[in-house]
């Protein structure tokens, strides 16, 4: 599998994780490299588009995906 199509421009890594490179790399390994279907940000992106992904939304917050999508 290849990297997530959103990885290069993902604002989460460029804005939120810039000062935490080690943690960012762990998240990338878990959610962006290979299968990105477990990434909460990617789920919202696929359902609603890039503009609807909350800026402070972490890839691990899968429990909030349904509510965000429902709110549209």
| SS3 assignment for the chain | CCECCCHHHCHHHHHHCCCCHHHHHHHHHHHHECCCCCCHHHHHHHHHCHHHCCCCCCCCCHHHHHHHHHHC
In this prediction the pTM is 0.86
Give domain limits for the chain.
7-71
pLDDT one-digit tens code per residue, 13-37: 877 788 888 998 999 999 999 788 8
Average pLDDT score over the chain: 90
For residues 34 and 62, which has the higher predicted lDDT (pLDDT)? 62
């Amino acid at each position: 599998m290849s990297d997530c199509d959103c990885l290069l421009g993902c604002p989460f890594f460029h804005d939120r994780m810039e000062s935490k490179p080690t943690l960012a790399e762990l998240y990338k390994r878990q959610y962006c490299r290979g299968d990105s279907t477990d990434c909460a940000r990617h789920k919202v992106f696929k359902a609603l588009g890039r503009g609807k992904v909350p800026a402070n939304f972490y890839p691990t917050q899968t429990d909030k995906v349904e509510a965000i999508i429902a709110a549209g």
